[in-house]
Chain A
Amino acid sequence: MSGLRFRRSAAPLWRAGGAIAIAAAILLAITLPLSAQSPEGLLWEHVADSRVQAVAVSEDGSLVAVGSRDNSLRLFDARGQLLWSFEAENSILGLDMSPDGRWIAVASEDRHIFLLDGDGSELWKFKAARPMNNAAVARDGSLVTATSDDRTVYVFDNNGNLLWQEELGIGVRAVDIYGSAEKARLVLGSDDGLITIYSREGRNLLQIRLDYNVISVSVTPNGARVLAGTGDGSAILLNGANGREIWRFRAEDSVSSVSLAGDGSSALIGSEDGSAYLLDGDGNLTHQFRQESEVLSVSLAGDGNSLSVGAVSGSARVYDRAAALSGAARSSAQRQRTLLAVISAIVLLILAAVWAARNTAAGQQAWQRSAAGPVGVLQTMWSARLSYLLILPTLALLLTFNYYPAFSGLYHAFTDWSPGVRTEWVGLANFQSLMDNRFFLSGFRNAAILVVVSIAKTMTMPLLVAEFIFNLRNRFSQYWFRTLFVVPIVLPAVVEILVWNNIYDPAIGLLNESLKLVGLEEFTRVWYGDASVALGSIIFIGVPWVNAFALLIFYGGLISISNEIIDASLVDGASTWRRFWSIDLPLLMGQVKLLLILNFINAVQTFELVFLTTGGGPGAATYTPALELYYKAMRMDRMGIASAIGMILFIIILAGTVINMRFVSSATEYEA
């Protein structure tokens, strides 16, 4: 019965699969030419061979300082004309410019901090034991500070006199200054996640503890808001008075640089994921400036209208915010593309309908009837109105909750998607970014392993046990063994995983305790925390893998083999072994294929198994694509990238299913 049904449904499925594959291909074809986009709002760019490691913009955006790895600091005017340049003896690692452009503090790998005036003349310099990695200057130039790789912060007055220094004993490179003259304050962020605000004299005024190393800080001129960029890819806006978190933004990779507009109304965040994110005062993303490489430094003019971005590729770009935003708002082009996609989907459906009318029996009937005149079809449809009415609820639900999301997912895979905010067509950018995403790539490898292992598990142990039970001579034992092996199916899938979490518990888990009991203490470990065994531990869950469902399917297949065949094999003197290979296995091919495809589909989408055990860790050791999809969508709000992952998995599953179906039809012939 099952086999018959399976085969009957296979033919339309096959066709539908083909149609979906064609639709996907066409969507892809539409996308390709649209993927190139002109950068919006770009005022000018400076391209050099060496990476741009520091940028700074004056308050009105009329001066832009660019420090790069070729040891030079260049000052440009608003149109990108070079005003002057300054050479240090090694690469420039950090720089800061007072809002009026009168003072520029420069930190260099040559271990010096320099204070320059507005014309590029060196006023003084100071040498530390190790390279200086960042510098800041007060708006009136009265206070200058530098952080160094020797884990010390140095503070100077305008004349280069060292006011105080503090050895922190931990890496430090996030520093900024607010206020002026005697009221100047220093904001310092270090690798232990601490942000400290010091007075001019070095008194500790406030400490804020964050969860990850602080890589960059920026503060408003009145000190009311502090923006911190941390190593986990967060940018966190803090209240400068009490240290409370106001909002938090997640980039896709570590944040390298942050900059806050003077009035706190906008913020710019540069991340190693290759984007600079422009946020509004409430932490909502207003625009994303994609770069071709990691962004090392960003700077936002005091009024927030002009912004500059420095990247590994050696480009320093200056954008006009208003132009960028209006460019993004020019979404009529987006709408046209959406329309195009919708129209092409409709055309596709019509083509499919025509094809169905030509090639299926029922379709031809409808075709002939419609050839008699459109009124005829309408009449038949009207007389069948009850039928339509009865299937209407089913169709309405399926269209809303299944069809619409499926097409929406395929479409949004090509967009930068923030529901309710904006949907921006980005072509293949999502797929490109996935190709560089190590979590996704590692997930892919793991998913491949899990697919193979899951199929191997289902094809061996349940079949073995089914065959063993089948070969027991005692019917009573057969019944009990089969029943008992099926009992674990009553545990919800989640419970099984949770119990295994407990078995693997490093503190008081069954596995480690057992190892200790038999004196193999050296083999105990943190099973989920050790990258070399984490994936193996996950695979080991459920040992000895006698899956109840697969067992029942195989066993059902075995008892349906007719006794005559088995008796005949006995008469022919076939051994049990021979019978297994020549009779049981060929006759079980239907079951094998069913389990094969079910396991394939499930294993490609593996989520709970890693989400509930290792959460993808340690590092990226046990990531799966579905897990990355979940994190991207739910924790980082990257719905577009999540949709792209979904689409890739869909294509893989579709391909696997189609391959399996061909395989099914060829082998069922042998079975019959």
Chain B
Amino acid sequence: MVTMREGQGTERNASVATRAESGEGTGQPILSSGSAFAILRLSGTQFLLYTVLLVLLIVTFIPIVYLVALSLKDNGQIYGRFWSMPDPYRWENFALGSLAIWRAVLNSILTSGSSTAATVVLASLSGYVFARHRFPGKEMIYTGILALLMIPPILTLIPAYVLILNMGLENTYWALILPWTSGGQVFALLLCRSFFATLPEEFFDAARIDGASELQSFARIAVPLSAPILVTVAVVRLVTTYNQFMWPLVVISSPKRQVVAVALTQFTSEIGVTDLGPQMAGYILASVPLIVLFSFGMRHYVRGLTAGGLKA
């Protein structure tokens, strides 16, 4: 048993890689020894597994169902007939909710999107340099950057806020974009460097012989080959920044420039929506960008977070 496990070591690591790449829904047959008709027959244990999973699934979905149900009711229906289904369905709640939060959603998309784009560009460039160039002080600078993984956001929150104040950027999009761009680079650089390091040297030699400049071989060879890792970085950064709450709360005071995560919590006080239905509809609408993002980027997200390791 033990010897076998040791022998499996390298192969196992390789198979993690391929499975992670292939991602969703392509799990191999788990028990090759299981015969075909065993699937049809639910043994006692299997029945138990199904029951427990179903119960957990239902409980997990209660808040979501509750959210959707409330989003289609008006206050009268909620307070008067709490347990009944929405009748009539108040689809106009979604119109009201979107009126209240569209601006915040756009702010979020704008700031998350631009900071993510900048992060990807900068981190791929410097990741390339750290992976393929030799220059004095390289490892030291790289270690210095990695050390930032040890710095929790809570330590830098207040000084960074004061810095933003001193720069006069408080209450502007820059107050979000610049620190997010900067902060995302550490994890992105880690991913990009290790990916670029795996690219075969021959490609770059060939390019050099053909007379390509350093920047050309970066743009024409490294970037196209590393598209998957760059998408991973982008998805993780988009999700992370879209969910950011504390930093925008601190540096953005104007409701006009506020991002959606904070704006949702200020529904009643700032935006003036007091009815529950439109509020709940707003919550659902605020999730739409994430639904879109996850529908194609889920496996990138998981891979990115697993590989990034320390920094969520």
Chain A interface residues (CB < 8 Å from chain B): 1-6, 8-9, 12-13, 15-17, 19-20, 353, 356, 360-363, 366, 369, 377, 380-381, 384, 386-388, 390-391, 393-395, 397-398, 400-406, 408-410, 412, 419-420, 461, 465, 468-475, 477-479, 481, 483-496, 498-500, 502-503, 508, 510, 513, 517, 543-544, 546, 549, 552-553, 556, 559-568, 570, 572, 576, 594, 597-598, 601-602, 604-605, 607-608, 612, 626, 629-630, 633-634, 639, 642-643, 646-647, 649-650, 653-654, 657, 672
Contact = CB atoms under 8 A, between A and B. Distances in A.
A646 B78 contact: no
A474 B59 CA distance: 23
A643 B158 contact: yes
A544 B59 contact: yes
A395 B265 CA distance: 35
Contacts of B31: 473, 563, 566, 570
A419 B79 contact: no
B49 A471 contact: yes
A363 B139 contact: yes
A151 B258 CA distance: 48
A405 B306 contact: no
A401 B182 contact: yes
A646 B151 CA distance: 10
For the complex of A and B, list the 7 residue pairs with the smallest distance between their C-beta atoms, beginning with the closest: A16-B147, A384-B135, A408-B159, A405-B159, A1-B17, A401-B182, A405-B156
Contact of B134 (A384, A483, A563, A567): A384
A629 B157 CA distance: 10
Contact of A408 (B56, B147, B163): B163
B139 A360 contact: yes
Contact of A395 (B5, B67, B141, B302): B141
9 contacts: A353-B140, A394-B125, A398-B182, A400-B163, A479-B25, A483-B24, A498-B264, A646-B157, A657-B150
Contacts of B11: 562
Interface string B241-268: 0110110001000000000111011000
A397 B147 contact: no
B71 to A, nearest CB: 10
Contacts of B151: 402, 406, 650
Contacts of B62: 510
Given A384-B133, A470-B30, A508-B82, A612 B143 contact: no
A224 to B, nearest CB: 32
A475 B29 contact: yes
B234 to A, nearest CB: 17
B16 A3 contact: yes
B145 interface: yes
B63 A500 contact: yes
Interface in B41-81: 45-46, 49-50, 52-53, 56-57, 59-64, 66-67, 70, 78-79
Contact of A646 (B45, B57, B142, B155): B155
Given A499-B66, A568-B1, A6 B309 contact: yes
Contact of A9 (B19, B57, B309): B309
Given A394-B189, A513-B82, A492 B243 contact: yes
Nearest to A385: B135
Given A4-B13, A20-B147, A650-B155, A366 B136 contact: yes
Interface stretch (B86-94, B200-208, B219-227, B286-294): B286-294
Contacts of A633: 157-158, 161, 250
Contact of B20 (A2, A403, A513, A598): A2
Given A360-B139, A394-B123, A563-B28, A5 B181 contact: no
Given A513-B82, A562-B8, 14 more contacts: A12-B146, A380-B135, A390-B129, A412-B159, A478-B27, A481-B57, A487-B61, A489-B294, A494-B245, A494-B265, A559-B30, A605-B153, A643-B158, A672-B9
A91 to B, nearest CB: 43
Nearest to A574: B1
A227 B119 CA distance: 51
B125 A362 contact: no
A473 B46 contact: yes
A562 B15 contact: yes
A605 B183 CA distance: 17
B155 A369 contact: no
A1 B307 contact: yes
A394 B135 contact: no
Q: Is the interface of B mostly helix, strand, loop or mixed?
A: helix
A560 B8 CA distance: 11
A4 B64 CA distance: 38
A390 B186 CA distance: 16
Contact of B33 (A402, A475, A485, A567): A567
Interface in B253-312: 260-262, 264-265, 276, 280, 283, 286-287, 290-291, 294, 298, 302-303, 305-307, 309-310, 312
Nearest to B295: A490
A490 B243 CA distance: 11
Contacts of A360: 139-140
B155 A401 contact: no
Given A12-B146, A510-B66, A657-B150, A1 B287 contact: no
A556 B163 CA distance: 42
Contact of B286 (A380, A495, A559, A598): A495
A499 B135 CA distance: 53
B50 A472 contact: yes
Contact of B182 (A387, A397, A513): A397
Given A419-B162, A568-B1, A553 B155 contact: no
B85 interface: no
Contacts of B28: 559, 563
A647 to B, nearest CB: 7
A597 B66 contact: no
Contacts of A412: 158-159
B190 A9 contact: yes
Given A494-B261, A495-B286, A513-B82, A398 B148 contact: yes
Nearest to A553: B306
A626 B154 contact: yes
A465 B194 CA distance: 33
Contacts of A517: 83
Contacts of A560: 12, 15-16, 19
Contacts of B135: 380-381, 384, 387-388
Contact of A409 (B138, B156, B250, B298): B156
B98 interface: no
B39 interface: yes
A398 B162 contact: no
A544 B60 contact: yes
B149 interface: yes
A405 B160 contact: yes
A473 B36 CA distance: 10
B150 A13 contact: yes
Contacts of B155: 405-406, 409-410, 646-647, 649-650
Contact of A16 (B144, B181, B242, B306): B144
A404 B146 contact: no
Nearest to A601: B152
Nearest to A370: B136
A580 to B, nearest CB: 13
Contacts of B194: 5, 8
Contact of B312 (A398, A468, A485, A602): A602
Q: Most chain-A CB neighbours within 10 Å: which of B11, B133, B306?
A: B306
B96 interface: no
A558 to B, nearest CB: 9
B158 A401 contact: no
A607 B246 contact: yes
Contact of B183 (A401, A468, A472): A401
Nearest to A557: B16
Contacts of B82: 508, 513
Nearest to A17: B150
Contact of A642 (B25, B138, B158): B158
Contacts of B305: 549
Given A479-B25, A597-B310, A642-B158, A465 B53 contact: yes
